[in-house]
Amino acid sequence: MKELDVLKNNWQKQKAASEIKMDEGKITESALSMLKKFEKKIFRINAVKTAGIIIAVILLIYTMLIATPPTVFKTAAVAVLLISITVFWTRYLKLQLKTAKFNVKENSVDFIDEVLKNFSAQREFFKKDFKVFGAVLIAALNIIYLDLLNGMPGLERIGFHTVMSALLIAVLFLGIKFRMRRFRNENAPIEKELIKIKDDLKESL
């Protein structure tokens, strides 16, 4: 029997049994695993955001309707805010990536199309729906200010409304910019890789 150090040389000459290529199933599995990781990350971020929204809504209701006497204007504004936040957030959460819904086994290429469609819908949501939500938010907060600033000279009131609205527009603008940057940094590389995988799969079919 030869010594281990001699066998070591022979050991390193052993070749892989065959030219193994990445098969379709493994590529799909790899893509799916990457998406699941991304989905988990987004889920955690959204859980924190949801908690933040709930706290903000509770504080808003408490400040506007419990700690201070409720008025028609404040109640209407809070109602508008509650409805718009609920609609916006539900739509947003519904648009999130859910890998469990993908029919991977039946057709390994189709799920890539579903993901790409989903990412595109998310992008559109921020480009269009978020602006509508922003407009509703500004309108509701202006209604609240209309009530809170009651009794103040007209010019000052206009100043307050203008500054507050301008600030909100700036915040919303930055929010959209930030979201688009995240799309570019996080979603776009995944999209690019999925398109590449899809092309590779098509070639191998």
Partner 1 sequence: MSSEEKEKLFNEVFKENKDRIFRLCYTSLNNKDEVDDLFQEVMANVWRSLDGFRNESKISTWIYRITVNSALLFNKRYKTKSGRFQNLEPHELEEMHAGSPFEKSLDDDLKNLHKAIAELGKQDRIIIGLFLEGTSYEEISEIVGISQNYVGVKINRIKTALAKTMGGME
Residues at the site binding partner 1, with contacts judged by CB under 8 A: 1-4, 7-8, 10-12, 14-18, 20, 22-23, 26-27, 29-30, 33-34, 189, 192-193, 196
Q: Which is nearer to partner 1, 29 or 110 (CB)?
A: 29
Q: Which is nearer to partner 1, 8 or 177 (CB)?
A: 8
Residue 146 CB, nearest approach to partner 1 (Å): 52
**Greatest CA span in the chain, whole angstroms?**
102
Q: Which of 37, 27, 38, 21 is nearest to 197 (CA)?
A: 27
Q: Which is nearer to partner 1, 114 or 193 (CB)?
A: 193
Contact 85, 57 (CB under 8 A): yes
Instruction: Say if residue 193 is exposed, middle or buried (CB neighbours under 10 Å; 0-12, 13-18, 19+).
Output: middle
Q: How far is Cα 39 from Cα 37, in angstroms, rounded to an integer?
A: 5
Q: Which is nearer to partner 1, 19 or 106 (CB)?
A: 19
* The residue count for the chain: 205
Residue 158 CB, nearest approach to partner 1 (Å): 52
Which amino acid is it at 133? Answer: F
Q: Which is nearer to partner 1, 33 or 107 (CB)?
A: 33
Residue 86 CB, nearest approach to partner 1 (Å): 38
Residue 15 CB, nearest approach to partner 1 (Å): 5
Contact 164, 145 (CB under 8 A): yes
